[in-house]
């Protein structure tokens, strides 16, 4: 282990502050969190370090060979002596930084603190007032002597040290997360190394009674710069199992990190030592042979079709006009989406010139038709390596013989005659056999042995095999010496690539202790995946056609609501009334939302209407599960439906925002975003009609997020060990359709730090299960919305792996199967009319102004489709993210200053435009300017014209309490004349706001409407404060006539007044003077009772 060095400057900026405070997690790995750099011999930290053979002596010395005014702390190479560093040392040589080498700003001679004497020990350092210095975010006890956080040492230091010992004892090495990754050097993560993660702002706060939900109970300091938090126990996990290790390694800086961007320490024995150069294959050209094409212009699509009197639900007949007699076959695309709609499945060609289509949604576009002579065609041969032979970035490590594989699904039927994998080093112990397996039967289909050598190595099969479209296969690599001897056997991996026309990529699997290749049956990771591939070869024939289009206009129809009812029609104040209605809409491809406004000044939030039901009607299903067993995917497999699945928290934000999903299952057990990125996305998705199934170990930090209220639950407290769950309503179909889980579920283990929550059910939900034998308030383990659109599981499914009813299926799998059926419903096709979900409402008061004993209210129902408010006209949409650029996306530039940079933001979970406080100490104005947007094509005569600017950002300020000189100001401007003049759109300042994160949208119509040169710029000037991250900058313009898609109806309800009732009075009607009254005892008062009404009245007060 290397020691840590510390450099000291005077005040701004203080590298003592930077190293000791900004990167406290680096010291935590050495048991130094909250401690000063020098320990009394009696301290627990000193004793723990001594037990590991570590002796640390840190002193201040002046290096003779460095510029005057710089102080370097040099470690002692022996027991206790203090020594000067060798001539020519600088901080990078004298000190080892696990987070990478820091960048040192130039300092003036005047910044040196003359009160720091050479050789002075840190624990005796004092300011001029002889009081402990107030460094950023650290109290006195964190700086001077051994008055540190003893509780933190017990909670963090000792477990970490024990973990190091356990790791070294079990595996002969230690791979322990110690710090957030660095921003520079060798292709490592882009998170800045200087982030003050030790004093993260309020994003970490959890709240809750009695300290419940306090994020300080977890070691999150190394994760916050990635915007994530990990649910884990450093020691004592009862389910520890042998599995491979994954890491990235940078040989330049000697740093390594895992898939969560947590930095790892590595035993020298297992430091990767790649040899040889990588061979990267070149893409093979495809070959084509073409016949004569039909004559262009011989086909017309006819039209225009539809018009002002054509609406959703109407059927249109299309007729093609042919002037080329050779055209005898035709195919139609009725909505021009690239998918053929005519004919039958697998053969869209028809021989007639007419076709009909019923539009179940409004459509303003073209119909496309292609004609073919039945003879002319072109044949295209496709060849190449399935993965494209990319350079790998991951090391996949195990200590004995093992086989690792990647699952692929063939999208074409193709021939395979070569296999390949990326070998870590030239020896065949790092990969001797490449194998293709049938993923379903686990049968070996083909195998070959690449020759010795490093990098991508290839081998030819003795006979080619055929992969069939739609089937799944496994491509594997075996590592080891064949004798299962202890060694370090590396494979190489890449981040999962995008699916191609040939294959879709699955996850990575492995099998341990395999002296010969074995089928890798154990799931490991969704991404990265093994760098292994095959060479495909197939040909496709395409008809040579002519194409024509015709205009189509189909208008929207607003929903019609009817049969509105209240039950009962006359209610008392405070009594629930039930509201129901029906609606109809010929646009069966629409999505609908509804709300009730009750006439008393209150309205419900908009909620979705699911027309039809059944899992097989849901075409877009997303599953996230970060720890196996993945019961959600197993349950969907039970129903045999397709879904999108990821185990990567970093891939999830892009996935969840990529489309409108029908069902989202989120099962977070191990890792979560600190910011509510996923929950924010779910709020958008539920507004679009998505069904939600949710469990999240980090839910305590979402107590105030509206998603929990939508679910119908209130977080009460966390579980730090899973509890037995009981069915509270055994008659509910949740426990009977289609499977029969047991009435009681016992946990099989406790895996991680938090294992669920106690939930209080709100009025918009019910609780079918809980942690008590009978229903009790605030003891629920599950809440289900009354409209069955969501389930919040307050437990972590992976804790329940038993089969207590001995029916052969895990009980939790049975429950998940039934949960999916409950929210998706029975298989019922979409049809009209359809009921609006029933709701309940209690009137808190009749109309007090009227003075009458009862009053009438008109409750109004609003139902709208997804076209309501859209403009029938034109749009302009320019969305800029910062995933790519050199260094900025096309047209963007940094026009003032230098400190904006493009890189990964953990707070936004994407590559973004980044400004960090440590990028500039000079108080310079830094400006990032957008490309130019041309909006001159907007129709100036349109009844509605609108231009909006939006961006997603994370702003954090508020460091001035720790450094009075700190400040931060940011502005957003828009211009139409290259910023000769500009308009202020938004501004951000120190503590105004302190923190702001999310998507911000501004109406810039008056500025940008019809302009040909619209530009946006982001400005920031600051000193020693925090950050500003920006992504997804969008300029969106629309113009035209609004589409009406709103239907309304009303129903009356009579609300009767209720006279107030007072409780209290005598225990009995007649009593002696000495008998105590049951009401409150108030001196000089008496209470009278009305025998006729059976109530008590206000007490009379007698004069004293």
State the pLDDT confidence band at 17, using cuts at 50, 70 and 90: very low
**pLDDT given for residue 1082 in this prediction:** 37
Interior angle at CA 429, CA 428 and CA 432, nearest 5: 50
State the pLDDT confidence band at 1068, using cuts at 50, 70 and 90: low
pLDDT in tens, 596-632: 999 999 999 888 888 988 999 899 999 999 888 899 9
**pLDDT given for residue 220 in this prediction:** 42
State the pLDDT confidence band at 450, using cuts at 50, 70 and 90: very high
Angle between helices 44-51 and 158-171 (to 10 degrees): 10
Average pLDDT over residues 89-109: 31
Q: Lowest-pLDDT range, 170-184, 362-376, 771-785? A: 170-184
State the pLDDT confidence band at 263, using cuts at 50, 70 and 90: confident
pLDDT in tens, 846-901: 665 666 788 899 999 999 999 999 989 899 999 999 988 889 999 999 999 999 99
Better-predicted residue by pLDDT, 135 or 772: 772
Average pLDDT over residues 1069-1076: 47
**pLDDT given for residue 271 in this prediction:** 84
Tokens of 878: 């320019």
pLDDT higher than threshold 70 for residue 842? yes
CA torsion, ordered 381, 387, 391, 392, to nearest 10 deg? -170
**pLDDT given for residue 289 in this prediction:** 57
**pLDDT given for residue 403 in this prediction:** 98
pLDDT higher than threshold 70 for residue 129? no
CA distance 931 to 929: 7
**pLDDT given for residue 886 in this prediction:** 87
CA distance 20 to 34: 9
CA distance 1011 to 1017: 17
pLDDT in tens, 510-521: 999 999 999 999
**pLDDT given for residue 751 in this prediction:** 79
Average pLDDT over residues 640-660: 90
Percentage of the residues of the chain whose pLDDT score is greater than 90? 58
Average pLDDT over residues 328-347: 94
Q: What is the pTM (predicted TM-score) of this model?
A: 0.63
**pLDDT given for residue 250 in this prediction:** 76
Beta strand segments in 1024-1080, E: 1027-1042, 1046-1056
- How many other C-beta atoms can be found within 10 angstroms of the C-beta atom of residue 884? 11
Q: Alpha carbon of 169 to those of 176, 237, 315, 773: distances in Å? A: 13, 16, 75, 44
Percentage of the residues of the chain whose pLDDT score is greater than 70? 72
Better-predicted residue by pLDDT, 707 or 294: 707
Q: What is the DSSP letter of 297?
A: T
State the pLDDT confidence band at 287, using cuts at 50, 70 and 90: low
Minimal CA–CA distance to 343: which of 330, 334, 353, 326? 330
Angle between helices 811-824 and 631-639 (to 10 degrees): 60
pLDDT in tens, 844-858: 876 656 667 888 999
Better-predicted residue by pLDDT, 53 or 714: 714
Residues 420 and 534 sit within 8 Å (Cβ to Cβ): yes
Interior angle at CA 205, CA 210 and CA 799, nearest 5: 70
């Amino acid at each position: 282990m290397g020691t840590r060095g510390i450099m000291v400057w005077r005040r701004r900026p203080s590298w003592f502050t930077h190293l000791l405070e900004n990167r406290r997690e680096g010291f935590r790995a050495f048991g130094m969190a909250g401690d000063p750099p020098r320990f009394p011999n009696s301290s627990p930290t000193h004793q723990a370090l001594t037990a590991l053979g570590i002796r640390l002596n840190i002193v201040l010395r002046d290096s003779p060979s460095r510029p005057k005014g710089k102080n370097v702390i040099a470690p002692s190479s022996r027991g206790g002596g203090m020594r000067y560093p060798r001539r020519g040392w600088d901080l990078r040589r004298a000190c080892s930084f696990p987070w990478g080498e820091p960048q040192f700003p130039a300092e003036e001679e005047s910044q040196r603190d003359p009160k720091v004497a050479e050789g002075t020990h840190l624990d005796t350092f004092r300011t001029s007032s002889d009081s402990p210095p107030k460094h950023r975010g650290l109290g006195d006890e964190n700086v001077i002597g051994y008055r540190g956080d003893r509780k933190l040492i017990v909670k963090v230091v000792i477990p970490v040290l024990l973990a190091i010992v356990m790791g070294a004892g079990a595996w002969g090495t230690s791979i322990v997360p110690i710090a957030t990754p660095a921003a520079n050097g060798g292709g490592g993560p882009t998170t800045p190394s200087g982030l003050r993660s030790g004093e993260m702002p309020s994003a970490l706060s959890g709240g809750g009674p009695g300290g419940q939900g306090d994020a300080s109970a977890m070691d999150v300091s190394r994760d916050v710069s990635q915007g994530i938090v990990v649910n884990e126990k450093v020691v004592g996990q009862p389910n520890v199992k042998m599995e491979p290790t994954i890491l990235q390694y940078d040989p330049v800086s000697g740093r390594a990190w895992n898939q969560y961007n947590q930095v790892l320490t590595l035993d020298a024995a297992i430091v990767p030592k790649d040899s040889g150069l990588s061979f990267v294959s070149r893409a093979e050209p495809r070959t084509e042979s073409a016949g004569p094409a039909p004559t262009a212009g011989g086909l017309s699509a006819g039209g225009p079709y539809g018009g002002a009197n054509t609406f959703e639900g109407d059927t249109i007949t299309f007729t093609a006009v042919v002037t080329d007699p050779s055209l005898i076959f035709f195919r139609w695309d009725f909505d021009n989406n690239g998918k053929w709609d005519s004919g039958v499945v697998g053969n869209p060609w028809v021989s007639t010139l007419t076709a009909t289509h019923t539009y179940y949604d409004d459509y303003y576009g073209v119909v496309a038709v292609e004609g073919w002579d039945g003879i002319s065609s072109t044949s295209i041969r496709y060849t190449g390596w399935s993965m494209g032979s990319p350079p790998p970035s991951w090391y996949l490590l195990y200590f004995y013989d093992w086989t690792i594989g990647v699952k692929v699904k063939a999208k074409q039927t193709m021939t395979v005659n070569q296999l390949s994998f990326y070998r870590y080093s030239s020896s065949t112990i790092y990969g001797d056999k490449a194998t293709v397996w049938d993923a379903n039967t686990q049968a070996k289909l083909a195998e070959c042995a690449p020759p010795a050598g490093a990098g991508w190595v290839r081998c030819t099969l003795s006979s080619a095999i055929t992969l069939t479209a739609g089937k799944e296969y496994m491509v594997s690599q075996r590592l080891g010496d064949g004798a299962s001897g202890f060694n370090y056997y590396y494979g190489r991996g890449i981040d999962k690539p995008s699916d191609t026309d040939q294959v879709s990529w699955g996850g990575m699997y492995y099998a341990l202790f395999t002296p010969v290749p074995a089928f890798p049956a154990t799931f490991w990771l969704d991404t990265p995946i093994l760098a292994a591939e095959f060479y495909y070869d197939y040909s496709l024939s395409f008809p040579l056609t002519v194409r024509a289009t015709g205009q189509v206009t189909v208008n929207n129809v607003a929903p019609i609501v009817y049969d509105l009812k209240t039950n009962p029609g006359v209610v008392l104040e405070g009594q629930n009334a039930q509201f129901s209605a029906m609606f109809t809409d010929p646009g069966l491809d629409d999505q609908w939302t509804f709300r009730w406004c009750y006439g008393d000044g209150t309205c419900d939030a908009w909620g979705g209407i699911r027309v039809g039901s059944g899992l097989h009607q849901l075409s877009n299903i997303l599953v996230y599960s970060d720890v196996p067993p993945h019961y959600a995917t197993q349950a969907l497999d039970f129903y045999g439906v397709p879904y999108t699945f990821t185990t990567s928290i970093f891939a999830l934000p892009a996935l969840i925002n990529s489309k409108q999903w029908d069902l989202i299952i989120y099962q977070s057990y191990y890792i979560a975003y600190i910011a509510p990125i996923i929950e924010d996305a779910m709020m958008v998705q539920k507004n679009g009609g998505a069904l939600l199934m949710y469990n999240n170990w980090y839910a305590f930090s979402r107590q105030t997020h509206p998603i929990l209220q939508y679910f119908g639950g209130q977080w009460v407290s966390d579980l730090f060990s899973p509890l037995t769950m009981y069915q509270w309503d055994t008659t509910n179909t949740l426990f009977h359709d289609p499977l029969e889980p047991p009435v009681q579920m016992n946990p099989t283990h406790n895996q991680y730090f938090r294992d669920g929550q106690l939930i209080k059910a709100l009025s918009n939900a019910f609780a079918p299960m809980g942690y008590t034998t009978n229903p009790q308030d605030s003891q629920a383990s599950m809440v289900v919305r009354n409209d069955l659109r969501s389930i919040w599981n307050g437990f972590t499914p992976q804790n329940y792996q038993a089969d207590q009813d001995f029916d052969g299926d895990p009980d939790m799998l049975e429950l998940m199967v039934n949960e999916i059926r409950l929210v998706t419903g029975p298989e019922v096709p979409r049809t009209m009319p359809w009921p609006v979900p029933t709701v309940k409402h209690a009137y808190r008061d009749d109309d007090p102004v009227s003075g009458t004993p009862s009053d009438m209210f008109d409750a109004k129902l609003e139902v709208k489709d997804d076209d309501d408010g859209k403009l029938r006209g034109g749009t302009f949409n320019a969305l800029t993210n910062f995933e790519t650029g050199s260094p900025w996306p096309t047209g963007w530039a940094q026009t003032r200053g230098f400190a904006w940079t493009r890189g990964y933001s953990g707070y936004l979970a994407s590559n973004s435009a980044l400004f960090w406080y440590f990028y500039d100490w000079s108080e310079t104005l830094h400006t990032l300017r957008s490309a130019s947007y041309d909006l001159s094509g907007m129709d100036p005569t349109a009844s509605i014209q609108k231009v909006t600017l939006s961006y997603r950002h994370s702003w954090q300020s508020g460091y001035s309490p720790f450094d009075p000189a700190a400040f931060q100001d940011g502005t957003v401007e828009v211009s139409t004349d290259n910023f000769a003049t500009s308009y202020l759109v938004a501004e951000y300042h120190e503590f105004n706001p302190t923190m702001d994160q999310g998507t911000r949208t501004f109406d810039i119509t008056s500025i940008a409407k019809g302009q040909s040169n619209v530009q946006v710029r982001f400005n920031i000037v600051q000193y020693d404060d925090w950050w500003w991250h920006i992504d997804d900058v969008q300029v969106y313009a629309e113009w035209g006539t609004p589409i009406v898609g709103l239907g309304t109806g009303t129903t009356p309800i009579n609300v009767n007044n209720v006279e107030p009732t007072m409780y209290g009075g005598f225990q009995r009607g007649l009593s002696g003077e000495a008998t105590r009254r049951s009401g409150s005892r108030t001196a000089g008062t008496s209470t009278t009772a009305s025998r006729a009404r059976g109530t008590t009245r206000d007490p009379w007060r007698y004069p004293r």
